[in-house]
Amino acid sequence: MPTISGLHHVTAIAGPAQENLDFYAGILGMRLVKKSVNQDDPGTYHLFYADAEGHAGTDLTFFPWAHLAPSRIGHGLATEVQLTVPRGSLDAWGVRLTGYGVRVGTIATRFDERVLPLVDPHGLQVALVEADDVTSRGFTPWPESPVPVHEQIRGLHGARAWERDLASTAHILTGTLGFTQAGSDRGWTRFVLGGGGPGRVLDIRETPDERRGSWGTGSIHHLAWRVDDDAQELVMRAAVEAAGLRPTPVIDRFWFKSVYFKEPGGVLFELATDGPGFAVDEEAAHLGESLVLPPWLEAQRTAIARVLPPLTYPPVLSQRAVT
């Protein structure tokens, strides 16, 4: 049975676009690999941060919807995105983040992994996780990053989600999508793809007494999972439908093809093909430098560009005095 192979990208909701860019490119040192627009709301940016080449699985993307209220944490939402960093780098990350006034937690151990939780400027919970990157997804360092190569973020590690009823979500994860249940730690149940590790982790906490969560600034919008190609996407889509869920038709996102569905607890999932990738419409050396629109929005470029706020990239940052 074909299955998904790991996270493809994670998309979250941000506040003002420049603040988002300053944080992810300037402080976390990820490369802006695509500056585009939300294809369903072209007056809003869609900003993509990844490794230097935008390998599938390294990509954290944002819709800066500054007018939204803050998200309400609760069940039916992914609540944290985890990013892989090299072993031994978390202490340096702690110093760097603190120097910029980022809200960081203390280094903790979860499922035998060293983790540094932090909160981005718009309330999104992010965790840096130390790991050897043993997956085959590929990583290309970004020489222009303000973070040295030996500490740079390697890509997506996993995510956390809250669910009202763990069993119904677990049934889809293990029965249809190819996850295996891999233990529990302080209230969290871990599901992994393959043998687990970077890009292959989903941790779920059952929260029957919590309210339902709602999207807003600082929330994860969806988790996108990798499928190899168009054919595998159709097979997985059929499996999702056969499991009683309601997947959308295949939508051409130009850099990949997507199918969306809500898992039984309400978290929005996407299936996304590995190709064709971000270099299909920009030279690899100049990814993210200009506003890129899918071909069907090109005719509206002038009107779209007029409503988007200007962005300064690379960002100009100043360290706060550490007191």
The Cα–Cα gap between 156 and 87 comes to: 15
Closest residue to Zn ion, judged by C-beta, is 224
Residue 311's identity, in one-letter code, is L
Beta bridge partners of 156: 83
Residue ranges that bind Zn ion, judged by CB under 5 A:
11, 224, 270
Give me the least distance between CB of 198 and Zn ion, in Å please.
19
Looking at beta carbons only, is 163 or 270 nearer to Zn ion? Answer: 270
Looking at beta carbons only, is 90 or 224 nearer to Zn ion? Answer: 224
Looking at beta carbons only, is 86 or 218 nearer to Zn ion? Answer: 218
The Cα–Cα gap between 174 and 193 comes to: 9
The Cα–Cα gap between 187 and 204 comes to: 8
Give me the least distance between CB of 222 and Zn ion, in Å please.
6
Cα dist from 93 to 60, 69, 286, whole Å: 18, 30, 27
Looking at beta carbons only, is 101 or 294 nearer to Zn ion? Answer: 294
Pairing of strands 113-119, 77-85: unpaired
Looking at beta carbons only, is 7 or 97 nearer to Zn ion? Answer: 7
Give me the least distance between CB of 305 and Zn ion, in Å please.
23
Give me the least distance between CB of 138 and Zn ion, in Å please.
19
**No. of helices (H) and no. of strands (E), the chain:** 5, 17
Looking at beta carbons only, is 46 or 190 nearer to Zn ion? Answer: 46
Give me the least distance between CB of 107 and Zn ion, in Å please.
30
Give me the least distance between CB of 50 and Zn ion, in Å please.
13
| CB 256 within 8 Å of CB 272 | yes
- Please give the helix or strand (H or E) that residue 63 lies within, else none: strand 59-64
Give me the least distance between CB of 287 and Zn ion, in Å please.
18
| CB 265 within 8 Å of CB 163 | yes
Residue where the block lists tokens 């983790």: 115
Give me the least distance between CB of 170 and Zn ion, in Å please.
23
Q: Return all residues near 51 (Cβ < 8 A) that are at least 6 apart.
A: 30, 31, 58, 138, 139, 140, 141, 142, 152, 153, 154, 155
Looking at beta carbons only, is 205 or 253 nearer to Zn ion? Answer: 253
Looking at beta carbons only, is 201 or 224 nearer to Zn ion? Answer: 224
Torsion of CA 235, 239, 241, 245, to 10 degrees: -130
Give me the least distance between CB of 241 and Zn ion, in Å please.
19
Give the pair of three-digit tokens for residue 263.
């898992």
Cα dist from 230 to 226, 251, 252, whole Å: 11, 11, 10
Looking at beta carbons only, is 80 or 270 nearer to Zn ion? Answer: 270
